[in-house]
Amino acid sequence: MAGSGAETWSFHFGWSGLEGYGDDQITVQDNRATWNSCGLVRQVYECENTILQACWCLFDGPGQEHTRTLCLLHASSLSTFNLQGDHAVIPLPCHFLHLHPLPVGVLLSGATSGAPHTLMHALEEPRRLSVSDGRQSKPEGQWKGESVLWTSQDCPYAATVNENLGRVAVWQASQAT
């Protein structure tokens, strides 16, 4: 993204979780992300590395609470910033291209050398995605060729397309037991 100018992601009302605020917007230029809400700058985040993508997500927090967190994807790491001011940089096992929010956590996809990973807590390491047909876990090859089209914080599903198989699929997301 270096040299390509600013890139902006707009989020519908309330993604940051702040009461009384309107639509959120994250503008990214190189290694800087600016969070705007209702036309006002709320926070500017500077990172050591170029930011590839940004999204808001919920992570497991203390007790039964979830912590709303801004995730900034870099080539080899993920920076997280919560509304309480906590910040973490998580090294990634490979180069991911995309972030997708889940009801709790974030899905990292687009890795050229492996399966997608999930991150459920800002202080944990990402885990390789496990695919199941409801009865048993499938080998990671079941996900091969899938490109994520859509995920949601509101419902535990992901839509993917597999151009090699000529199909669109809907997957249910759940934590492994």
**Domain spans in the chain, listed from the N-terminal domain onward:** 7-131
d(CA 92, CA 83): 23
pTM above 0.85, yes or no: no
Per-residue pLDDT tens over the stretch 158-171: 777 878 878 787 77
> pLDDT at position 23, please?
73
Whether residue 176 is predicted with pLDDT greater than 60 in this model: the reply is no
Per-residue pLDDT tens over the stretch 15-50: 455 555 557 788 999 999 998 887 789 899 999 999
d(CA 44, CA 33): 6
Higher pLDDT, 74 or 37: 74
Q: Which of helix, strand or coil describes residue 122?
A: coil
pLDDT over 90, % of the chain: 21
